[in-house]
Amino acid sequence: MNRAQLTIKKISPLQAIVYTGTLSLVIIIVGTVGFFVTQQSLLEKVQKKQACYLDLVDFRGKLLEFGLSRDVAGVTMETDIGQRPEVLLFMYNKILSQMREAGLHPHTSFHLSQESWPTLLAGDNLKLFSLELEKNIDKAKVESKNASIKLLVINEFFLFFILAVLLTLSITAGWMLHNNYRETLIPLAQLVGQLKLLNRNIPESIHDTAEEMKKELTEMDYSNDITQITRSIMNFCGDIEAKNKKLDEIYIRDEKTNLYNYRHFKEHLIIDVERAKRLNDRVSLAMIDIDHFKFYNDSNGHLAGDYALKLLADIISSQCRAYDVPSRFGGDEFALLFPKTGTSTARDIAERLRKIISDRQFPYEDAQPVGELTVSIGIATFPDDALDWSTLISNADRALYKAKADGRNNVVVFTSIDPPNIPG
């Protein structure tokens, strides 16, 4: 028997536990520090890639608005400040910078100079640019998904690393270590099994996994180590779930008014019109514009204008039913979507809303041309006034223009315009 074997033989089980425990503790500390450093770095990358993806999608929506304004609604680039070329160019340059910071290298054909920007927005060039934009959106989506998967893989690797250390410690220390840690190893194996069932592509799976771990934490007698690990994973799942909810809200809400944004409104409009076609139902749309709002902004400043927009948005939301879709269409214009609603009901709701706004006291409204802050509303209904969603918007706008032409502060339905013009 050599000296090494004699030395090992003299080591008592308690000493083996102390030695292997100390070594394992050092490994765990180093691994944990490395894990949290790596996790933070990956989390920052995920956030940058997700933010870049959302901005690309938002930019696509702005280009779509620009194209619709140019080709369908007939609005010129000079009158719609939300869709002016220089605004789009500013967003484009910002997105390029974000993509570089996030490590998303855009396609070579996606790089454009300021001089070529007006030419891009003319004719069919916009369609070609939109195709390049779609490629970059798909690339950002894939990169964001891969970064999220990598982050979850790192967490799983960390858990398996902890498991390997504990198993090694158990083999080295013998039956004493096994006896001391049997309340740790079995629950840890169950925890790893639950994590294997986690579906990274379904947000609800993260919530369900955290709830299941919380339930087992209260029902089973876990060791302190497992309790801390489980709580850390639960907190991590909670953070991811909270970030997902925040991203969802950012994706569908307007920042100034907290109403739904144009993107969400359009998605609902298309879906509701298609559903109405199948069920032989109706969908009504009210376009709302603030009367003399430019004068209000010029007289009182944009901060006062933003405050008035928020007050009007709160009133609009308060008068909506649970399934209505109140949205900010752009600038000082709102869109109110009424699923499963005919013209008569939509007109009653709009008239009640108009009167409430007219009776409401707004700051500085005495200086307005009519002494109060009011709105004009135009209403169109599918299929009575239009046979598709884009025409429904166009005809609701025509009714709105008629309401403003008739003196403002009133409600006009498209069928009252003489002569009615329903596209086929």
The tokens describing 13, both together, are: 């089980």
Give the neighbor-by-neighbor strand order of the sheet with 375-382: 325-330, 333-339, 283-290, 375-382, 411-413
386 within 8 A of 392, measured Cβ to Cβ: yes
Q: What is the pTM of this model?
A: 0.46
* Other Cβ atoms closer than 10 A to 48: 19
More confident residue, 345 or 30: 345
Whether 157 shows a pLDDT value over 90: the answer reads no
Average pLDDT over residues 228-240: 67
Q: Which of 305, 283, 233 is nearest to 393 (CA)?
A: 283
CA 216 to chain centre: 32
Which range is least confidently modeled, 30-44, 143-157, 239-253, 392-406?
A: 239-253
Query: Looking at the domain 262-416, which fold is it?
Result: Alpha-Beta Plaits (3.30.70)
Whether 1 shows a pLDDT value over 90: the answer reads no
289 within 8 A of 376, measured Cβ to Cβ: yes
198 within 8 A of 205, measured Cβ to Cβ: yes
Taking each helix axis as running N to C, give the angle between helix 175-196 and helix 224-252, from 0 to 180 degrees, rounded to the nearest 10: 20
Whether 14 shows a pLDDT value over 50: the answer reads yes
Please give the pLDDT value at position 41: 75
Confidence of residue 397 (pLDDT cuts 50, 70, 90): very high
Sketch the domain layout of the chain as residue ranges: 32-150, 262-416
Say whether the peptide bond before residue 383 is cis (omega within 30 degrees of 0): yes
Rounded to whole angstroms, the Cα distance separating 184 from 151 reads 25
259 within 8 A of 327, measured Cβ to Cβ: yes
pLDDT (tens digit, 9 = 90+) per residue, 345-394? 999 999 999 999 999 888 888 888 888 999 999 999 999 999 999 999 99
Confidence of residue 287 (pLDDT cuts 50, 70, 90): very high
* Other Cβ atoms closer than 10 A to 64: 16
226 CB-contact burial (10 Å; exposed 0-12 / middle 13-18 / buried 19+)? buried
